[in-house]
Structure 1
Amino acid sequence: MIKYIITFVTFMVALSTTAQENKHKFGEASLEEISMKAYPKDSSADAVVLYDYGETNFRYTNNNIFIVLKQHKKVKILKKSALDRASSSVLLYKVGNNEERVFDIKGFTYNLIDGKVVKDKLSKDMIFKEKSSDNYTNHKFTLPNVKEGSVIEYSYEIETPMTLSHNPKMWIFQNDIPVVWSEYRIDIPNIFYYTMLMSGYLPLAINEKKPINIRFAGSDMPGVSYRFVVENGAAFKDEPYITTALDYVSKIDFELASIDWTGVLTKNFSLDYASMNKTLLVDYNLEEQLRKTNFLKNIAKEIKAKNADTLSQWRAAKNYVFSNIKWDGKSSIYSTGLKKVFDKKEGDAGDINLLLTALLREMGYDANPLILSTRSNGYINETYALLKKFNYLVAYMNYYGKDIFLDATDEFADVGVVPTRCLNKKGWLVHPTEARFVSLIPKEQDREYKKAEFVLNEEGELSGKMSFSYAGYGAIRAKSDLKETGQEKYLEKVKKDNPSWSISKVQYSNTEPNNRAMEAAFELNINEHVTKAGNVLYLKPILSNDYAENPFKASERSFPVDFGCSLDETYMANFEIPEGYKVIEAPKSASITLPSDGGRFSYMVRVDGRKINVVSKIQLKKPIYYAEEYLFLKEFFDKIIEKNQEQVVIKKEN
């Protein structure tokens, strides 16, 4: 029985299994390729990948198993804006003496000079090795003599020991420029059982699978050969409000589920979530570490003695860990040792939040680790357990049926709220008997309230006060920004975002960690939101530049719009116009609702003598809007921008 799983997610469809050959011989470029002036299928492209070929094999040498990737890539430079594509790099991973290695980096640049193809070779002195971090090195190279019209190609081989990584490298078929041909092949001996996940929005032109004999460990053994091709792949256009591009580009990824090598090694890894859960509890020692918490006993007693109610105790535990253990900015789903972290007073997110989990347990609460994938790391697959897709850990409790999250890396995220970076659909509760998925879709909103009180003079100048109130995720963001930048730079940003404001005084309140809204109050003059023409004043009553243009510019979209959380914004302004003036025209009220009550925008202007009152309210009631809802969302923002530009016409009476 051939032991492999392939799952096709989000419209990946195998269109054909008839093998079409498109083999490019390294060291050659055709006259047609070099003469190309533009890519017919995308005239806006400044470059195009002509050929991207990857081949993965398994090698057994000196009692070690290696996963070997060979890659050959050819790119046409169409415009000067793409000249930086002449530079590339190979990132290699290392832990101790266990490291990836790269071999045989080579490349050529092809130019058409006086009707002849001239080839320049990548020399060894053009390849540089530099240390990126303790665990990564970069082999960088720049192909020579690259100009507008050049064709460049390069190839290399990466050898990864399975003791460092069990999994073949992800193959990405799609790029930020068009790809004419992307082909990936992999030959896998039957002793390895891999989960293979294919995802994205481009169809496969070729999808082949056939049994073969593979030379491995000195003998022939049965295996399977796979071949996947995407032809004429469109460029991936980055859009606003997505998690990470890797969630949407067409790609194939791998995770080792088990090894069944008779007489040598038999081991299960993460075939399913139950197996993954066991791996975390046993192999990663999560449960054992959470039992060895005696060093936290006195701290737990002191917190409980000083805080009578449950919520205060939880906050005190979180604040203790935040104040005493410095976050190094890194993420993980485990800890190398909680006592070591406690003594060192520094650790990554896994260290810190597992320590918080241990402290809560020592206080008598049933706290457990919950692992997740951050937004920048991408979605997790709920069908197949890929442990490597999880990169973050928070403390979790189920208290009388309510999900309670705690994260001691974030000073301003209150009890029950995960940081914005963690808002990524679901996490996995690591538990000996009650392991399960837990929703990360927040009940808390991003709330913002703006209030303006202004007096308008006959010269068209506005003077008055503007106050901002940030609550929910808005408060977390605003408080974090204020602390990180300081009051002076925070004010500079407000001025930069609103260049017509002349701010004379500012006051902040509720800036400390709590669940209250942060307030920012400004005294200011504004002279660019009113136009004077003779005895007529034209007032734009929406004074901020938050919605100067629509963030959604594409005519269509294939993937969701992910805001992370729902949104509620209210703007209220009162204006007093000069004596002797009268409002002769005001914007009409408007209301637009998204389908299925997904959101609402309302706008209203009321006039009472010399008083003008404006209320604008924007509600996005869902964190995620799917591709089918995109055009409605685009129209929704078009309406907001349209109303924001409308004016109140004020005329001096005779």
Structure 2
Amino acid sequence: MKLFLLVLFFYSCFASDLLSVGSPGTYGSITIADFNTVSEDEDADAVVLFDIGKSIFVQTSTGFEVEFERVTRIQILSEAGVKWANVQIPYYQGGSANERVSEISGNTYNLTNNLINRSSIDDSNIFDEEINEYWGQRKFALQDVRVGSIIEYKYIVRTPNVFRLKDWEFQWRIPVRYSEYELRAVPFYEYQYILQGARSFHSSRSRVDRRFKRKLSGIEYNDMVHNFVMKDLPPFNDEEFISSINDYIIKINFQLSKIIYPTGRIEQIVTTWPDMISDLSKHPDFGRYVNRSRRDASRILDVKSVSEKPEKDRFEYVMNQVKQHFRWNNFHGKFATKTPRNLIRDGHGSCADINLFAVGALRAVGIEADPVIISTRDHGLVYYDYPFSHFFNYVIISANVDGETILSDATSRMVPNNRIPLKCINFKGLKINTDKEEWVDLIFEKPSEKALVFNMSLSESGLSVDASKTATEFDAVYYRVNYGDDKNNLLSQLKNSQFEIDESSIEVENQWAIDQPWKLRFSFLAVTDDLQDRVMISPFVGYVMNDNPLKQDQRTYPIDMVYTAKRTFKSTLKIPEGYEIEVLPDNLNFSNDLFEISYNINKNGDDLVVSFSYWFKHAIYSARDYGRLKAYYSEIVKKGNENIVLKRI
């Protein structure tokens, strides 16, 4: 991971590499030569010809707002690339901090018989969609887009939030010819920025715009212009086992570090982790919210009677009560959005509302508990050298129960009380306790196990199979959430063109006993491959992966499997009368510090027992292990799909 932090010191100093900056095109102006795009990536579905962003501070009656303008041009190179003509613009809609999207326009250019035809965006193709109560997105689709088309669009987003400027992603999932970001800053805000994924820009420069002056509270000032350019960027080709594209894509992000008021007073925004912990502990929607929750916990808990019970019983009681009383509204955030009493009244709230309340409730029954702020996997990594508050978007619970530290999340009813959801397993979180700075390890090394057992018998109609599946830990959570115990849903999940499922055989155990393994039983009739007097049988009937998920020749970022996974398969095949074994796969047993695989066949009378298992021993592997992991997956695919051949006697 390449990270470089720089501080934009407005007026005090600035640096420039004196390289010229020039856009390769102008919005609304196009020539025939622009259609002669050749991508160095032969598999590219489209290529970004230019992507230009600009942030400007606009003075208002109450201070400043930030106006962000974007202009983008893309050429479509394949049918699959047409999707890039569908654009989404997220915006915040939280009370007085509402963001506003405006001035959307777009064009599609097609070259026909050496003539350029232009189709402009229709306003009827622009609409808003609500993501949740705090976020929406404006969506639009460009028209008449086909292979060879050049599309372009532009829009403006205006926000009162000066604390964090929008990230600028230079890299896309398709090649980028030219990407430029310009920040026109004012001397009242000082920012730090982090460049991720690259050592330097193609060009960058900073200058004072002396063409005109502005005035605030009687102080005249000029804008400080910072410009960053990158060219000829390859596509970001992610694959399986990556935490978030946000962690590795080439981008620049900003954090407000200091406010310089017209009076001369200076307010430090970014200081140190201990200062951040102290500020959160005193914040009315964080630390003080926990204190109020402790006082209000008796409104949903029998605090007096439960306080006499053992710690583990108290912990389970509080977590179960909080989960029963409150429903998560799918909103992430580290600050509470309502008072504890309003949370109790409404019965629903954000992760911060619910988990901060749970911390207070645990304290009310005598359990040592603290909030832990984290970044969810889709939000990206936290860089521990930079105390930026925007790294965090979620709150979980840390509780000391009988001398053991337990991490928990009261928003997830299907997750045991002593576990956090998969989305929260993202390296480390920061415990908010005024006594000290403490980082909490979120990595979970205990294996999640999935075992499939097949009992098979061959007949004239096919291969009759009685199957059972058992899952523990996060695998069990996955099945409880995605399969459940509804037979219609299970049937749709189990359907396979090679199987005929017996619907009456489907049976689920422990759907709601979340501290127990999840179990499924079902029966089906599978198709066999017959050739003259021989029958080929796949002992695991397609339930072992048949494609290697690691496709690249090499990889520069970690292989993040989230949790350690152990998979076990066992098939017992009754050899029918009149058949004999002609071909059996070879046994295999291999183990090292990274991985373990075992494949063994035993014959017991008329029964042929095939056992296969593999175990990835770590949740996260370094990039240098990629080649070996890719080879291990190839071996899984090979061994797990080998056939047994029976010959008619």
TM-score w.r.t. the length of structure 1 is 0.88
- CA separation in 2, counterparts of 1:147 and 1:521? 48
Deviations 1:552-571 (A, max 9, x none): 22333332222211111111
**Alpha-carbon distance, 1:102 to partner:** 3.9
Q: Which residue of 2 aligns with 1:22?
A: 23
- CA separation in 2, counterparts of 1:93 and 1:593? 51
Q: Between Structure 1 and Structure 2, how many residues are aligned?
A: 634
The answer to whether the Cα contact below 8 Å between 2:16 and 2:205 also exists between their aligned partners in 1 is: no
Deviations 1:263-306 (A, max 9, x none): 16532333332232233222344222222223323755458549
**Alpha-carbon distance, 1:145 to partner:** 4.4
Q: Tell whether 2:638 aligns with 1:637.
A: no
Q: Which residue of 1 aligns with 2:490?
A: 490
Structure 1 residues 651 and 503: alpha-carbon distance in aligned structure 2, compared to 1, 3 A threshold: farther
Deviations 1:521-542 (A, max 9, x none): 23x24332x3333443322212
**Alpha-carbon distance, 1:65 to partner:** 0.7
Q: Which residue of 1 aligns with 2:372?
A: 370
Query: What SS does the aligned partner of 1:453 have?
Result: strand
**Alpha-carbon distance, 1:253 to partner:** 1.0
Q: Which residue of 2 aligns with 1:69?
A: 68
Of 286-295 and 313-322, deviating more is 286-295
- CA separation in 2, counterparts of 1:306 and 1:496? 53
The answer to whether the Cα contact below 8 Å between 1:179 and 1:235 also exists between their aligned partners in 2 is: yes
**Alpha-carbon distance, 1:258 to partner:** 2.2
Q: Which residue of 1 aligns with 2:318?
A: 317
Query: What SS does the aligned partner of 1:616 have?
Result: strand
The answer to whether the Cα contact below 8 Å between 1:583 and 1:607 also exists between their aligned partners in 2 is: no
The answer to whether the Cα contact below 8 Å between 1:172 and 1:249 also exists between their aligned partners in 2 is: yes
Query: What SS does the aligned partner of 2:519 have?
Result: strand
Residues 464-613 of structure 1 mapped to structure 2, 5 A cutoff: 464-483=465-484, 486-496=486-496, 499=499, 501-502=501-502, 504-522=504-522, 524-528=523-527, 530-593=528-591, 597-613=593-609
Deviations 1:351-402 (A, max 9, x none): 1111111111000011111111112222222221232232211111244663
The one-letter code of the counterpart of 1:474 is D
Q: Tell whether 2:250 aligns with 1:250.
A: yes
Q: Which residue of 1 aligns with 2:351?
A: 349
The answer to whether the Cα contact below 8 Å between 1:109 and 1:120 also exists between their aligned partners in 2 is: yes
Q: Which residue of 1 aligns with 2:92?
A: 93
- CA separation in 1, counterparts of 2:497 and 2:526? 15
Of 493-502 and 391-400, deviating more is 493-502
The one-letter code of the counterpart of 2:153 is Y
Structure 1 residues 571 and 5: alpha-carbon distance in aligned structure 2, compared to 1, 3 A threshold: closer
Any unmatched runs of 5+ in structure 2? 8-14
**Alpha-carbon distance, 1:549 to partner:** 1.5
Of 192-201 and 97-106, deviating more is 97-106
- CA separation in 1, counterparts of 2:534 and 2:579? 9
The one-letter code of the counterpart of 1:409 is T
Structure 1 residues 392 and 513: alpha-carbon distance in aligned structure 2, compared to 1, 3 A threshold: farther
The answer to whether the Cα contact below 8 Å between 1:353 and 1:393 also exists between their aligned partners in 2 is: yes
The answer to whether the Cα contact below 8 Å between 1:192 and 1:258 also exists between their aligned partners in 2 is: yes
- CA separation in 2, counterparts of 1:527 and 1:154? 52
**Alpha-carbon distance, 1:198 to partner:** 1.5
Q: Tell whether 2:169 aligns with 1:172.
A: yes
Residues 425-440 of structure 1 mapped to structure 2, 5 A cutoff: 425-440=427-442
Match of 1:199 among 186, 193, 196: 196
**Alpha-carbon distance, 1:201 to partner:** 5.5
**Alpha-carbon distance, 1:57 to partner:** 2.5
Structure 1 residues 304 and 405: alpha-carbon distance in aligned structure 2, compared to 1, 3 A threshold: farther
- CA separation in 1, counterparts of 2:373 and 2:233? 34
Residues 281-430 of structure 1 mapped to structure 2, 5 A cutoff: 281-292=281-292, 293-297=294-298, 300-301=301-302, 305=306, 308-335=309-336, 336-399=338-401, 402-430=404-432
Residues 80-229 of structure 1 mapped to structure 2, 5 A cutoff: 80-122=79-121, 127-128=126-127, 134-136=133-135, 138-162=137-161, 165-200=162-197, 204-209=201-206, 215-218=213-216, 219-221=219-221, 225-229=225-229
Query: What SS does the aligned partner of 1:443 have?
Result: strand
- CA separation in 1, counterparts of 2:96 and 2:208? 36
Q: Which residue of 1 aligns with 2:10?
A: none
The answer to whether the Cα contact below 8 Å between 2:51 and 2:179 also exists between their aligned partners in 1 is: yes
Structure 1 residues 54 and 340: alpha-carbon distance in aligned structure 2, compared to 1, 3 A threshold: same
- CA separation in 2, counterparts of 1:274 and 1:649? 66
Structure 1 residues 537 and 147: alpha-carbon distance in aligned structure 2, compared to 1, 3 A threshold: closer
Q: Which residue of 1 aligns with 2:57?
A: 58
Deviations 1:157-177 (A, max 9, x none): 332223xx5221111111122
**Alpha-carbon distance, 1:196 to partner:** 0.9
Structure 1 residues 46 and 208: alpha-carbon distance in aligned structure 2, compared to 1, 3 A threshold: same
The one-letter code of the counterpart of 1:579 is E
The answer to whether the Cα contact below 8 Å between 1:396 and 1:403 also exists between their aligned partners in 2 is: yes
Query: What SS does the aligned partner of 2:435 have?
Result: coil
Structure 1 residues 93 and 479: alpha-carbon distance in aligned structure 2, compared to 1, 3 A threshold: closer
The answer to whether the Cα contact below 8 Å between 2:306 and 2:365 also exists between their aligned partners in 1 is: no
Query: What SS does the aligned partner of 2:471 have?
Result: strand
Structure 1 residues 593 and 205: alpha-carbon distance in aligned structure 2, compared to 1, 3 A threshold: farther
The one-letter code of the counterpart of 1:489 is N
**Alpha-carbon distance, 1:132 to partner:** 5.8
Of 341-350 and 507-516, deviating more is 507-516
Structure 1 residues 519 and 79: alpha-carbon distance in aligned structure 2, compared to 1, 3 A threshold: closer
The answer to whether the Cα contact below 8 Å between 1:50 and 1:179 also exists between their aligned partners in 2 is: yes
Structure 1 residues 5 and 469: alpha-carbon distance in aligned structure 2, compared to 1, 3 A threshold: closer
The one-letter code of the counterpart of 2:44 is A
Q: Which residue of 1 aligns with 2:45?
A: 46
The one-letter code of the counterpart of 1:491 is L
The one-letter code of the counterpart of 2:429 is G
Structure 1 residues 104 and 515: alpha-carbon distance in aligned structure 2, compared to 1, 3 A threshold: closer
Structure 1 residues 138 and 640: alpha-carbon distance in aligned structure 2, compared to 1, 3 A threshold: closer
- CA separation in 2, counterparts of 1:131 and 1:460? 52
Structure 1 residues 479 and 343: alpha-carbon distance in aligned structure 2, compared to 1, 3 A threshold: same
- CA separation in 1, counterparts of 2:598 and 2:18? 53
The answer to whether the Cα contact below 8 Å between 1:174 and 1:236 also exists between their aligned partners in 2 is: yes
**Alpha-carbon distance, 1:231 to partner:** 1.0
The answer to whether the Cα contact below 8 Å between 1:269 and 1:279 also exists between their aligned partners in 2 is: no
Of 578-587 and 97-106, deviating more is 97-106
Structure 1 residues 291 and 99: alpha-carbon distance in aligned structure 2, compared to 1, 3 A threshold: closer
- CA separation in 1, counterparts of 2:450 and 2:47? 44
The answer to whether the Cα contact below 8 Å between 1:586 and 1:647 also exists between their aligned partners in 2 is: yes
Query: What SS does the aligned partner of 1:601 have?
Result: strand
- CA separation in 1, counterparts of 2:158 and 2:420? 38
**Alpha-carbon distance, 1:17 to partner:** 6.6
Query: What SS does the aligned partner of 1:448 have?
Result: strand
Deviations 1:419-466 (A, max 9, x none): 112111111111111332101001332211222222334x37333522
Please report the RMSD computed on the Cα atoms of aligned residues, expressed in angstroms.
3.0
The one-letter code of the counterpart of 1:323 is Q
Structure 1 residues 99 and 532: alpha-carbon distance in aligned structure 2, compared to 1, 3 A threshold: closer
Query: What SS does the aligned partner of 1:412 have?
Result: coil
- CA separation in 2, counterparts of 1:15 and 1:605? 69
The one-letter code of the counterpart of 1:21 is G
